[in-house]
Each structure stands twice: as structure tokens, then as C-alpha cells.
């Protein structure tokens, strides 16, 4: 449970947590808060903890814990700029030696997972302790298709969930994130996501990745794809633009780690599942082709034409084609080739085409995580394409 990636020269934590851990709880129902507090009490001595909760009424059930008020937050699938500013301010006020940030579904994590994340930033040189969740296939596919391959390739990181919402932060990591977040808060964009892995990598801070087991997924009331996708991808594309001087230099990717076993979901009717996705792609091919032609070079458009001619059973998107498509959208975002909102909306049907392809590939017997690793490898192989287009954006235009 406490095994880390060899991302930097770090030591697996073995000693019990020391004092001064500030735990930032997200807003969640009272019974879930009590579940988290029970597990924290089992993971750490009560005197070592300072709990910041939006609702302090839980203090009556846990008299041994010190509980202070935290700013109320809207449950979200990402940590926002405001979250990191508040965490740093509270840590400064209470002179905390480390911070554990827990998301709305953290009640589903076990005590040993909370201990791994918290003790890592208290007892080792780790600055950022990131959760690696054991999620079922076909879950968190925006991460698998775009977020993970991009951060792995451009920031030389094997952190599988770069937007993990349950994190451990050292004081200097918290300060770095709060500083990066201030510009969003000042511009009244406090709900914008931040990218802790990217910030840590650029700063040369130590990152540890911890297997925390399954995580209960948000309820259907969570933002839909048309809301969430532009928010998350646009935030990452903007961060890539801001850090271009860093990622254009060659960097060594850390060695791979052993994959985490994932409980497979019961088999489903893949043909029925992917039909709406392929239909959305075909409709977009007819209606969005002119927009795509402003973003994608002829070779990629030819690849999409071939894809549009495939029937559902044979629908497969080549990994190299997908990598170049994402890279060209990153570039178009930077250049403002078209309105950014329209641009990210035009990427959604292409993403759905990738999902349909991924489902077909895994339904035929391929390991889901193995296919995602192959996709990430294709992004690495095509990095020179992005660097070339970034430096000479007109070079490949028709």
C-alpha cells in the first residue's frame, strides 16, 4: 500500500506520522465526514491531527480531535485554485508541518491509504503524495485518453491520475500551489483546476505515488461531459502553454512500475455501448469537418476519413493518429486558431471516437491498462511532432 514510484530519490515511509498534519476535508454528508474522521483517528494519533471541515458540528462526535472551520466548498471532481489557497493559509495560521487534502469521496478510502498519503509528507522528503486509484475499466477515460498521456510525455511523470483529488502536500509544495493559484483567485477564477504534478516537476520537488485502492465514483449529478471536458482539457492545455520552455527540453521518464490489479466489471454489450459514440463521431464528421480542417493537417484528416468508413465492429483509432490529434488541438488552443470554447467542443466527438475504439480493443481481449500504456507510449513517440509544430506552427499547414 505504501509503495512509491521511483519518480525521485525517495524512501517508502515506514515510521509513524509525526505531529502537525492539517487535514482539509471537502464538503460531504455528515455520515461520510464521520467515516473519514474514524479512519483518520485509526491512522494517526489524535494529538497529531488538525482537521479543517466546512461543518464543525462533527466535533461533538469526536471530542479528542481538534476541528476548525474550513471554507465551504462545492463538491467537485477536481481540486481548484481556491482549495489550494485556503489550504496554504490555514497551514500558515496553524503552523502545520504538512497537509492532507481529501476530496468528497475520500470516505471510501481505507485508513492505511490515508496514513500512506499523510505520513509520506511528514516523515520523508516527498513534497507531493499522489493517489493511484484502483478504478474499474471504462472509468476516468478522459484521464486515460488525454490527461495521463500528456503529463507523462511532457512532464516525464508516471503519475497515473494527474488530477487526483486526495493529496499530501509538504509546506513548500503548498506554498508553490498557492502562489500559482493566486492569479486565478485574483481574476475571480477560483474554480479553475490546478496541476500539482506539473508544478512539482517544474520546481524539482519530490513526488510519490501511492496505491490507495478503490474510490467510490461521483453520483450521476456530477458535471456531464460537455461541462467537465472543456474545463479540464482547457486547464491542462493552458498549463502546457505556460510551461512550454520546460517540457520542450528532453527528459528521462522514470522506470515503469508493476501494474495495480483492477477488478474487472461484468462484460457488457460493447456494440450497444459504442453505437452512440460512433454516431456522434459520424455526425461531427459531417458538421465539424471545416473546423477540424482549421486545426488538423491533411494526414490527420485522411486518418479520420478512413475511420469514418469503418463499421462498428472494426472501429479502431490508431494510437499515433490520436496522439497527433490531441497535440494539434493543444497547438490550436495556444494559437487561438478558433474560439477556445468551440475548439474544445470540437474535440469531444473525437474523444468519443477514441473511447469507442478503446472499448472495441479491450472487448476483444486486450488488457485495458495495457492499451492505455500503449497510447501513452504513442504520445511519447510523437512528442517531436508537437515540438516541431509548436516552434514552426505553419510548417505543416496545407
For residues 113-137, average pLDDT: 95
**228 shares its domain with 286:** no
Digit-coded pLDDT (tens) for 31-80: 999 999 999 999 999 999 999 998 877 878 899 999 998 887 666 778 98
Predicted pLDDT at 18 = 39
Number of domains observed in the structure of the chain: 2
The reply to whether 109 and 224 lie within a common domain is: yes
Q: Which residue has the higher pLDDT, 396 or 346?
A: 346
As a residue count, the chain comes to 398
Question: Is residue 31 domain-shared with residue 171, that is, in the same domain?
Answer: yes
Query: Is the residue at 144 inside a domain?
Result: yes
Domain boundary among 215, 247, 279: 247
pLDDT at 205: 97
pLDDT of residue 207: 97
CATH code, domain with 130:
3.90.550.10
d(CA 182, CA 188): 10
* Domain-embedded: residue 254: no
**Measured distance CA(204)–CA(173) in Å, rounded:** 10
Say what the pLDDT of residue 11 is.
38
Q: List C-alpha distances in Å: 302 to 278, 312, 325, 348, 394.
A: 17, 19, 12, 19, 19
Task: Evaluate if residue 160 carries a pLDDT over 60.
Answer: yes
Identify whether 220 is part of a domain. Answer: yes
- Considering the entire predicted model, what is its pTM? 0.89
Greater model confidence, 206 or 261: 206
**Tens-digit pLDDT profile for residues 326-371:** 999 999 999 999 999 999 999 999 999 999 999 999 999 999 999 9
Same domain membership, residue 179 and residue 53:
yes
Above 80 in pLDDT, residue 273? Answer: yes
Please say whether the beta carbons of 293 and 301 come within 8 A. Answer: yes
CA distances from 24 to 70, 87, 114, 142, 222 (A): 7, 7, 12, 26, 21
Q: Write the CA distances from 344 to 176, 193, 226, 329, integer angstroms.
A: 28, 16, 9, 8
What is the pLDDT at residue 360?
Answer: 95
Residue 326 falls inside a structural domain: yes
Q: Span 314-321, mean pLDDT?
A: 97
**117 close to 212: Cβ distance less than 8 angstroms:** yes
Instruction: Determine the structural domain holding residue 346 and report its residue range.
Output: 270-391
d(CA 74, CA 111): 25
DSSP secondary structure code for residue 56 in this structure: G
Q: Give me the percent of the chain exceeding a pLDDT of 70.
A: 89
Contact of 253 with 155, CB cutoff 8 Å: no
Amino acid at each position: 500500500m505504501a509503495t512509491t514510484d521511483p519518480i525521485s530519490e525517495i524512501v517508502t515511509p515506514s515510521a509513524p506520522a509525526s505531529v502537525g498534519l492539517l487535514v482539509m476535508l471537502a464538503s460531504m454528508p455528515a455520515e461520510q465526514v464521520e467515516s473519514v474522521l474514524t479512519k483518520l483517528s485509526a491512522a494517526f494519533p489524535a494529538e497529531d491531527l488538525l482537521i479543517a471541515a466546512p461543518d464543525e458540528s462533527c466535533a461533538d462526535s469526536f471530542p479528542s480531535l481538534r476541528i476548525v472551520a474550513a471554507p465551504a466548498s462545492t463538491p467537485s471532481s477536481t481540486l481548484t485554485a481556491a482549495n489550494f489557497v485556503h489550504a496554504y493559509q490555514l497551514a500558515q495560521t496553524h503552523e502545520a508541518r504538512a497537509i492532507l487534502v481529501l476530496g468528497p469521496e475520500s470516505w471510501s478510502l481505507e485508513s492505511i491509504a490515508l496514513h500512506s498519503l499523510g505520513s509520506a509528507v511528514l516523515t520523508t522528503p516527498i513534497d507531493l503524495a499522489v493517489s493511484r486509484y484502483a478504478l474499474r475499466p471504462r472509468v476516468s477515460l478522459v484521464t486515460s485518453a488525454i490527461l495521463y498521456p500528456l503529463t507523462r510525455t511532457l512532464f516525464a511523470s508516471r503519475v497515473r491520475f494527474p488530477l487526483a483529488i486526495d493529496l499530501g502536500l509538504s509546506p513548500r509544495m503548498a506554498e508553490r500551489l498557492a502562489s500559482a493559484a493566486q492569479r486565478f483567485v485574483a481574476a475571480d477564477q477560483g474554480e479553475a483546476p490546478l496541476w500539482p504534478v506539473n508544478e512539482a516537476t517544474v520546481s524539482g520537488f519530490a513526488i510519490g505515488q501511492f496505491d490507495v485502492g478503490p474510490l467510490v465514483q461521483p453520483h450521476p449529478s456530477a458535471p456531464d461531459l460537455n461541462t467537465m471536458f472543456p474545463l479540464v482539457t482547457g486547464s491542462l492545455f493552458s498549463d502546457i502553454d505556460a510551461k512550454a520552455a520546460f517540457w520542450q527540453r528532453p527528459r528521462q521518464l522514470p522506470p515503469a512500475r508493476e501494474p495495480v490489479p483492477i477488478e474487472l466489471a461484468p462484460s457488457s454489450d460493447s456494440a450497444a455501448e459504442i453505437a452512440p459514440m460512433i454516431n456522434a463521431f459520424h455526425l461531427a464528421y459531417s458538421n465539424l469537418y471545416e473546423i477540424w480542417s482549421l486545426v488538423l493537417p491533411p494526414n490527420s484528416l485522411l486518418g479520420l476519413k478512413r475511420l469514418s468508413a469503418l463499421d462498428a465492429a472494426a472501429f479502431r483509432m490508431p494510437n499515433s493518429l490520436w496522439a497527433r490529434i490531441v497535440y494539434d488541438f493543444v497547438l490550436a488552443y495556444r494559437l487561438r486558431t478558433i474560439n477556445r470554447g468551440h475548439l474544445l467542443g470540437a474535440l469531444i466527438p473525437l474523444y468519443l471516437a477514441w473511447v469507442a475504439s478503446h472499448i472495441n480493443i479491450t472487448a476483444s481481449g486486450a488488457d485495458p491498462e495495457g492499451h492505455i500504456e500503449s497510447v501513452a507510449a504513442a504520445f511519447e513517440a510523437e512528442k517531436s511532432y508537437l515540438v516541431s509544430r509548436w516552434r514552426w506552427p505553419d510548417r505543416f499547414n496545407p
